[in-house]
Structure 1
Amino acid sequence: MKHDDIWRAIDSLAAENGLSASGLARRAGLDPTAFNPSKRIGPDGRARWPSTESIAKILSATQVGIEGFAALVSGQAALPSAPRGPRPGVGRRVPLIGFAQAGGEGFFDDGGFPVGGAWDEISLPEIPDPHAYALEISGDSMEPVFRDGDMVIVSPSSPIRRGDRVVARTRLGEVMAKELKRQSAKRIELRSLNPVHPDYSFEIEDVQWIHRILWASQ
């Protein structure tokens, strides 16, 4: 059981209940910042683990058993007992901005969830994550999978594993679509699919957030 798997399970549990990580903490009677990304790695770069008490409280608040939480830790599909949002086939509107806008201030909160009223909107089929949003690809670093002008649907709450296509934002405001090559307690390595473009490696504290790409227009 890895540090990242536990935190991904908490994020997934929050999403399955239509909450952000801070919303889940609040529902469980915890400090709303208890599950913030900044609390997951210490100032010295060492991994911070959630307490067993806090996990027990969120499971009680969401009426999920330890078996269900273990399923989320292992990366299995959404829990059957959890709310799933709109019914299959029912359209849903999600926020949409371009990569240049995503690098600006006022579009995301500290946890990387979309906020504010300056987003455009598009309609799409069911997306399980209530915080999902859409980005328009800029550049050719991910060709031939993603091309300039393609639209991708991004999920802040979905678990991320090596090999997933992701969108990452750095502390300097740079936003990029890449493939997750490797993530440790100290570094994140991202790969460009287009061999003309370089790969990237960041200290963990230099990455503001990293979200999984669920779907892309072609």
Structure 2
Amino acid sequence: MLTHNQIWKGVDLLAARAGLTASALAKRAGMDATTFNVSKRYSQDGTRPRWPSTESIAKALAAVRVDFEEFAALAAGTAQTRSVPLIGFAQAGADGFFDDAGFPAGQGWEEVIFPGVEDAHAYALEISGDSMVPVYRAGDRVVVAPGETPRKGDRVVVRTVGGEVMAKEVARLSGDGVKLLSLNPDYPGRILKTSEIAWMARIVWASQ
């Protein structure tokens, strides 16, 4: 049985896995932003532990597409780990590192360890520059899963046919293309036609 501290640790890890704060996770799940705040975890006098509701946990899991078994492993500290290839974000636009489907290819990849990544083709990108601040900063690493289908609200890495690589949030998907929101308000969003996209991979983990 998971303890009070483990449950709340699991919530924090679930948020971090998606590159979110606990407040942002609650908002993404359609709940009040304070649902998972630290102040909600104990009674006002600090003597009685408060537990998140099963409904709030279920909504959070659905929002980031994680099942309860995986959440329990995160909370208990027993999540399995595996190594995934790592490449600098700037290099992702160069030829030879990916195949036509956006799967890692070629040689010279460094390997890094991440927990709970099931996609056999998953790989990590190391962020550079400030175009993704404040969500991701230079040196942060994100794991992407090219085998998963992105949906509205997901954070994704996109490579255009011209070799441009960007991390954005999906605002709208259609058969004709995708509307992307910028993670940094100082940078514009993008609207890309399907013909302009080489590949698009969902971000499933962030190490910050």
TM-score norm. by structure 2 comes to 0.61
Q: Is residue 2:96 matched to residue 1:96? A: no
| Pick aligned residue for 1:193 from 178, 183, 206 | 183
Residue correspondences, number: 136
Please tell me the residue identity of whatever aligns with 1:89: A
Q: Deviations over 1:184-217 (max 9, x none)?
A: 1112111112211111111111100000001111
Distance in 2 (CA, whole Å) between partners of 1:76 and 1:167 is 17
Q: Is residue 2:139 matched to residue 1:149? A: yes
| Pick aligned residue for 1:126 from 107, 113, 116 | 116
- C-alpha change, 1:77 and 1:215, in structure 2 (3 Å) is closer
Please tell me the residue identity of whatever aligns with 1:137: I
Distance in 2 (CA, whole Å) between partners of 1:195 and 1:127 is 29
* TM-aligned CA deviation for residue 103 of structure 1: 0.5
SS of residue paired to 2:90: helix
Overall identity of the aligned pairs, in %: 54
Q: Give matches, 1:20-35, under 5 Å.
A: none
Structure number with larger C-alpha Rg: 2
Please report the RMSD computed on the Cα atoms of aligned residues, expressed in angstroms.
2.0
SS of residue paired to 2:170: strand
- C-alpha change, 1:76 and 1:217, in structure 2 (3 Å) is closer
List 4+ stretches of structure 1 deviating above 3 A. Answer: 75-78
- In the alignment, which residue of structure 2 is the partner of 1:172? 162
Distance in 1 (CA, whole Å) between partners of 2:133 and 2:87 is 20
Q: Deviations over 1:85-136 (max 9, x none)?
A: xxx5333110000112111111111111111112111112231111100001
- In the alignment, which residue of structure 2 is the partner of 1:136? 126
Bigger mean CA deviation after superposition, 126-135 or 186-195: 186-195
TM-score norm. by structure 1 comes to 0.58
- C-alpha change, 1:76 and 1:139, in structure 2 (3 Å) is closer
Q: Deviations over 1:123-177 (max 9, x none)?
A: 1223111110000112222222111221001001122111111000000111111
The unaligned stretches of length 5 or more in structure 2 are: 1-63, 70-77
Please tell me the residue identity of whatever aligns with 2:137: R
